[in-house]
């Protein structure tokens, strides 16, 4: 029997294991001299390589078994060997890319992330990957591929030179198989005891493959979990939906500006922190503002924020999104409601509304004017990508503001107006203008970002000053809010979409008007779905019964917020005035943080609060199942909706 192909596959399998082990050292950021000098470090890397070795062993065993079945077909064996080596090279490429993506995303790339990012057309994921997969990365890939091939061929040469009969090879193979058998059985419990997280042990090939299956074929337990009858009422009970609001109001308030800060968490905004003074213009207007203490993005992504902020609608509990799947969804929006009241309506977006089909959603929201990067006249774009389908392009925000001020009516006594102004230069890869200031940030991308945020603040200052100059400051409610956060290394992550820690989802919300506010603080927990009802409440306008949010000034509302992210793993979050829960549906692990004592979420209290953990799971399950049922009803054909029970009107 010809066993040459089997031996070659075995050699390349061992070579692949070696290369993946060495790449895992890079993922763990452990120098090689430490790994091979200290047994403890070697042991930890060996544990972290569990899924790598499992994949390599599985590929090798399957291919060697197939080679045995094809032992009398030399051409088929040659093809099999080539296919195995090709697959091994692909695995190495995935492994090397994981050195970068584990830092950027806090975990491996997933199918849901590619969906979110419009990867084949563009956005932050593609930009991040392309920025980090440079020619240097290509050179590294060639080097690692060369190591894989040279190690495999070297091992084959040694076997031919010193073990032509294969007796030592067979013993080595059986010994390796025995070791791996024990290792694969014992390692999982040691991985847990050494506190190795998902990021440390995930294999990018297995993770991506599983994410496709999870996205298309599986349902997290919270979707079907049984909860006690009447555990929590959705939508909000009638007591919290009446007109007993404590919202401040004034007859002179007739205009609204919704100013949305791209990728800005609360921690970098005046009134929420004091470490970085990057927004002096907003700070100048704090005496005429009200700050809401604990506001959350329902999901850390821009296109979903558009739906929640304008439509008071929770997102689809899925990696899919409303703007792509159901852009014409039949829900009232803040713009359509104010249009009924004879408001002029405008939407001004510094980036490209083609991203995730935002323009399709906005087209049916009763905006008189929709302007974005494609239509805003600007001599100097902050970032312009050459290809026509690249949606990351952004206009300089000074041009964004100019487009808005040109849209403003010259007659301040005419029809009231509602404008949404959405910045973009704080989006990755961050586009500051002019010379950068050193803010003392330890992470270089953070300093780049802070300079971009400072520029956005300048435009906000220009807007507020222009309203004052035109005599509109007292008659205009300015709402400053974030669409989601941005992470810079805390919790071993960068960017915004892959997690739901505070840096990902806690956002600023400031209401500015000199007649209504004088530097107050509203201690409330809420979400983006509550912004539109709050605005209409202040204006004393009727709030649509279809909306899922509640005015933040309603004393009967529940101080809770719900949020999730499906892009790296399915993580669901629940916030009370004091505690925050994060449940990972992929791993069934729960984290509980006391945000009063631990605002940076460093100490997990889940083991100390089992009853609270169980209750939080019930809250999350109730919310998820309510939202799925709600969207099913809203998206049903009109004839079906007409026969269903309509929600109570506030």
Distance CA 320, CA 151 (A): 43
CA distance 52 to 95: 9
Whether residue 397 contacts residue 423, with contact meaning beta carbons closer than 8 Å, is answered with yes
d(CA 4, CA 386) in angstroms, rounded, equals: 51
Residue among 56, 76, 58, 57 nearest 67 (CA): 76
**Segment 574-593 mean pLDDT:** 93
What is the reported pLDDT for 387? 44
491/643: higher pLDDT: 491
Tell me, rounded to whole angstroms, the distance of Cα 8 from its chain centroid: 43
pTM of the model as a whole: 0.78
At residue 120, does pLDDT exceed 70? no
Q: Distance between CA 425 and CA 202 in Å, rounded?
A: 33
pLDDT in tens, 297-322: 999 999 999 999 999 999 999 888 99
In this structure, the number of other CB atoms found within 10 A of the CB of residue 7 comes to 21
In terms of Cβ atoms closer than 10 Å to its own Cβ (0-12, 13-18, 19+), residue 429 is: middle
The reported pLDDT for the residue numbered 243 is 57
Identify the pLDDT of residue 519. Answer: 97
606-623 pLDDT, tens digit per residue, is 999 999 999 999 999 999
Dihedral sign (CA 27, 214, 502, 423) = positive
Mean pLDDT, residues 406-415: 84
| Token reading at 217 | 């074929």
Q: Flag whether pLDDT at 162 surpasses 80.
A: no
- Rounded alpha-carbon distances, angstroms, from residue 446 to 51, 56, 270, 383, 437: 33, 38, 17, 18, 12
**Best-predicted range by mean pLDDT among 4-18, 385-399, 421-435, 449-463?**
449-463
Which tokens go with 71?
A: 């032992």
Nearest to 523 by CA among 466, 596, 454: 596
If DSSP codes are grouped into helix, strand and coil, which group holds residue 609? Answer: coil
Top mean pLDDT of 93-107, 155-169, 211-225, 285-299 is at 285-299
- The crossing angle, in degrees rounded to 10, of helices 50-69 and 4-27 is 170
Tell whether the torsion through CA atoms of 334, 335, 340 and 345 is positive or negative.
Answer: positive
- Categorize the per-residue pLDDT at 208 as very low, low, confident or very high, splitting at 50, 70 and 90: confident
Q: What is the pLDDT of residue 72?
A: 84
CA distances from 35 to 45, 191, 492 (A): 8, 17, 21
End-to-end CA distance of the chain: 81
pLDDT of 130 > 70? The answer is: no
How many CA atoms lie within 13 Å of 420's alpha carbon, on the beta-carbon side? Answer: 32
Tokens representing residue 1 in the block: 């029997």
Other Cβ atoms less than 10 A from the Cβ of 547: the count is 25
**Per-residue pLDDT band at 161 (split at 50, 70, 90):** confident
DSSP state letter for 268: G
pLDDT of residue 288: 98
Compute the distance between CA of residue 203 and CA of residue 281 in angstroms, rounded to an integer: 46
Averaged pLDDT, 139-165: 87
Contact between residue 552 and residue 291 where contact means Cβ atoms under 8 Å apart:
no
The mean pLDDT value for 351-357 works out to: 91
Distance CA(104)–CA(494), nearest Å, equals 5
Answer whether residue 239 shows pLDDT above 50.
no
Tell me yes or no: is domain 238-642 CATH 1.10.8.50.
Answer: no
Q: Where are the domains of the chain?
A: 4-217, 238-642
Q: Do 127 and 117 touch, CB atoms closer than 8 A? A: no
Q: What is the DSSP letter of 246?
A: -
**Angle in degrees, CA 574, 577, 582, rounded to 5:** 25
What span, in angstroms and rounded, lies between the C-alpha atoms of 589 and 567? Answer: 17
Of the chain, the percentage scoring pLDDT greater than 90 comes to 61
Strand order in the sheet with 589-594: 561-565, 571-575, 579-584, 589-594
265: its two tokens = 């968490």
The pLDDT tens digits of the residues spanning 51-109 come to 999 999 999 999 999 998 988 888 899 999 999 999 999 999 999 988 877 776 677 87
Report whether pLDDT(238) > 60.
Answer: no
Residue-averaged pLDDT of the chain: 87
Q: Which of 515, 542, 533 shows the shortest CA–CA distance to 251? A: 515
SS in 3 state form for 133-155? CCHHHHHHHHHHHHHHHHHHHHH
Would you say 279 and 512 are in contact if contact means Cβ atoms under 8 Å apart?
no
> Are 204 and 108 spatial neighbours (Cβ–Cβ below 8 Å)?
yes
What pLDDT does residue 477 have?
98
């Amino acid at each position: 029997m010809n066993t040459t192909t089997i031996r070659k596959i075995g050699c390349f399998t061992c070579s692949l294991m070696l290369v993946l082990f060495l790449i895992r050292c890079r993922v763990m950021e452990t120098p090689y001299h430490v790994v091979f000098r200290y047994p403890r470090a070697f042991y930890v890397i060996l544990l972290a390589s569990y899924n790598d070795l499992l994949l390599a062993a599985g590929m090798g065993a399957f291919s060697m078994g197939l080679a045995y079945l094809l032992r009398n077909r030399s051409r088929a064996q040659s093809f099999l060997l080539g296919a195995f080596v090709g697959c091994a090279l692909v695995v190495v490429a995935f492994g090397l890319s994981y050195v970068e993506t584990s830092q950027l995303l806090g975990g491996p790339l997933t199918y849901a992330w590619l969906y979110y990012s419009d990867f084949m057309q563009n956005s932050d994921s593609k930009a991040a990957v392309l920025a980090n997969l440079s020619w240097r990365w290509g050179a590294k890939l060639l080097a690692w591929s060369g190591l894989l091939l040279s190690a495999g061929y070297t091992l084959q040469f040694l076997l031919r030179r010193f073990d032509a009969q294969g007796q030592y090879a067979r013993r080595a193979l059986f010994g390796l198989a025995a070791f791996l058998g024990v290792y694969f059985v014992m390692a999982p419990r040691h991985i847990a005891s050494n506190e190795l997280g998902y990021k440390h042990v995930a294999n990018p090939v297995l993770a991506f493959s599983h994410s496709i299956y999870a996205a298309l074929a599986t349902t997290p337990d919270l979707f079907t979990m049984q909860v006690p009858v009447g555990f929590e009422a959705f939508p909000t009970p009638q007591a919290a939906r009446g007109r007993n609001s404590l919202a401040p109001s004034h007859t002179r308030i007739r205009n609204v500006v919704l100013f949305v800060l791209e990728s800005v968490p609360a921690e970098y905004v005046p009134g929420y922190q004091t470490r970085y003074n990057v927004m002096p213009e907003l700070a100048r207007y704090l005496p005429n503002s009200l700050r809401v203490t604990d506001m959350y993005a329902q999901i850390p992504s821009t296109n979903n924020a558009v739906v929640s902020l304008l439509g008071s609608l929770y997102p689809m509990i899925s990696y899919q999104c409303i703007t792509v799947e159901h852009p014409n969804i039949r829900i009232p929006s803040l713009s359509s409601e104010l249009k009924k009241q004879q408001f002029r309506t405008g939407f001004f977006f510094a980036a490209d509304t083609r991203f995730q089909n935002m323009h399709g959603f906005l087209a049916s929201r009763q905006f008189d004017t929709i302007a974005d990067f494609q239509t805003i006249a600007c001599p100097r774009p902050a970032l312009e990508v050459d290809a026509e389908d690249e949606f990351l392009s952004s206009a300089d925000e000074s041009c964004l503001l100019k487009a808005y001020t040109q849209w403003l009516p010259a007659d301040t006594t005419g029809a009231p107006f509602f404008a949404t102004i959405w910045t973009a230069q704080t989006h990755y890869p961050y586009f500051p203008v002019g010379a950068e200031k050193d803010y003392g940030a330890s992470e270089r991308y953070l300093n780049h970002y802070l300079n971009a945020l400072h520029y956005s603040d300048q435009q906000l200052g220009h807007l507020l000053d222009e309203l004052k100059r035109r005599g509109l400051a007292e008659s205009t409610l300015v709402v400053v809010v974030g669409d989601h956060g941005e992470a810079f290394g805390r919790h071993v992550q960068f960017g915004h979409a892959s997690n739901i820690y505070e840096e990902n989802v806690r956002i600023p919300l400031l209401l500015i008007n000199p007649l209504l506010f004088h530097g107050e603080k509203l201690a409330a927990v809420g979400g983006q779905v509550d912004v539109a009802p709050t605005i209409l409440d202040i204006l004393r306008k009727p709030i649509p019964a279809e909306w899922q949010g509640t005015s933040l000034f309603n004393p009967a509302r529940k101080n809770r917020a719900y949020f999730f992210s499906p892009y790296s793993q399915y993580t669901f979050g629940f916030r009370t005035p004091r505690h925050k829960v994060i449940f990972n549906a992929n791993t069934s692990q729960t984290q509980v943080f006391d945000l009063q004592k631990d605002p940076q979420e460093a100490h997990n209290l889940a083991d100390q609060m089992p009853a609270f953990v169980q209750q939080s799971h019930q809250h999350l399950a109730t919310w998820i199942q309510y939202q799925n049922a709600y969207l099913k009803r809203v998206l049903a054909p009109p004839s079906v909706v007409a026969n269903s029970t309509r929600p109570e009107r506030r």
